[in-house]
A and B are shown apart, each in its own frame.
Chain A
Amino acid sequence: MNLFDFFRPKKPKSASVAKERLQIIVSHERRRSSTPDFLPQLQTDILQVVRKYIQINENQIKLSLDKRGDCEVLELNISLSESGKP
């Protein structure tokens, strides 16, 4: 370290920047690749079943897979609008 470096504010080392970036991309990609590819199909199937009883459109139904602690949760949300009432 020379005198100039000594007075310059410390920049984070490039390796720790790389590590941080990697932790973010990797966790993101892992989450994406673990999303089963049947989700969209399941959503259309559920939509069809629900429509036998209640008129809803596809934006009123939301299906998502989440992790809460050690638990994987498949969440299904169907919001009923006024017109959807039987």
Chain B
Amino acid sequence: MSKVVVVTSGKGGVGKTTTSAAFAAALAVRGYKTVVIDFDVGLRNLDLVMGCERRVVYDLLNVIHGEGALNQALIKDKRVGNLYILPASQTRDKDALSNEGVGKVIEALRQSFEYIVCDSPAGIEKGAMSAMYFADEALVVTNPEISSVRDSDRIIGMLASKTQRAEQDSDPVNVHLVVTRYDPVRVERGDMLSADDVCEILAIPFLGVVPESKLVLAASNSGIPVTLAEDNDASEAYFDMVDRFLGEDVPYRFMDVQKKGFFSRFFGS
């Protein structure tokens, strides 16, 4: 059975595209046939983060409008088997996305993929709405910061009322909280909301934190999803989340300040 997973947030720049790429790649590494779709029509940057921008021929809108076949638009990742990208159009505007058109593409993808990850644009307009409409699961990406938490709350409300599952009165979308750009040092100092605070306010199941990491930018500079880059904290955090998402009981990490040992304190780590 296939699952549609929307990665959404309301606010821009919180890590949706980073999370979509990392999560999709990690699912593929775990052996699931996965496609990640860029819904950010007009901006399009998932292909850059995935490092396949020069292989884009057709995009989501071409497929919706019958200007290219779905299998011509899908880009196969060169690093992991099982992983495909469906890029967004750079030229058209978001209003070109209709639920009917998107629905047909999703239905076709359901035939051959186990996970369909949808990278939502920011905002609560058309693009974000069509990215979430067919979702079975949602990753609500939130930074420990006041406006991001507030926007996430609104998005959680929309997942409960504006999706196909809501309209058809079937089981609600499974929502998961992903707190990104987390800095335990600042949390301990009291100038950043803790993951507990965010969980308490949003009151949805918690998938985990992704620590603030310089390697995230370095990986996207090189066009590598962070979960396919060399070993790093952010990658491990994403793999933990994927494993929890898949139903494993994985202890939470990266939530607390790493206490430095005696020697590293003197000699730097």
Contacts and interface: CB of A to CB of B under 8 A. Distances in A.
Interface string B145-165: 110011001100100000000
Contact of A33 (B157, B190, B194): B157
Interface string A1-17: 00000000000011110
A19 B191 CA distance: 11
B193 A18 contact: yes
Given A23-B201, A30-B157, A18 B190 contact: no
B58 to A, nearest CB: 38
Interface string A21-64: 11101100110010000000000000000000000000000000
Q: Classify the secondary structure of B's interface with A.
A: helix
Contact size class for A?
10 to 19
B150 A14 contact: no
A15 B197 contact: yes
Interface in B152-200: 153-154, 157, 187, 189-194, 197, 200
A21 B201 contact: no
Contacts of A13: 189-191
B190 A14 contact: yes
A16 B88 CA distance: 40
Nearest to B161: A33
Contacts of A21: 146
| Most chain B Cβ neighbours within 10 Å, of A14, A21, A23 | A14
B153 A15 contact: no
Contact of B153 (A16, A18, A19, A30): A30
Interface in B189-231: 189-194, 197, 200-201
Contact of B201 (A15, A22, A33): A22
A21 B157 CA distance: 19
B171 to A, nearest CB: 20
Nearest to B191: A14
Contacts of B146: 18, 21-22
Given A15-B187, A15-B197, A22 B150 contact: yes
A18 to B, nearest CB: 5
A15 B154 contact: no
A62 B191 CA distance: 45
Interface of B: 145-146, 149-150, 153-154, 157, 187, 189-194, 197, 200-201
26 contacts: A13-B189, A13-B190, A14-B191, A15-B187, A15-B190, A15-B192, A15-B193, A15-B194, A15-B197, A16-B190, A18-B145, A18-B146, A18-B193, A19-B193, A19-B197, A19-B201, A22-B146, A22-B201, A23-B201, A25-B150, A26-B149, A26-B201, A29-B153, A29-B154, A30-B157, A33-B154
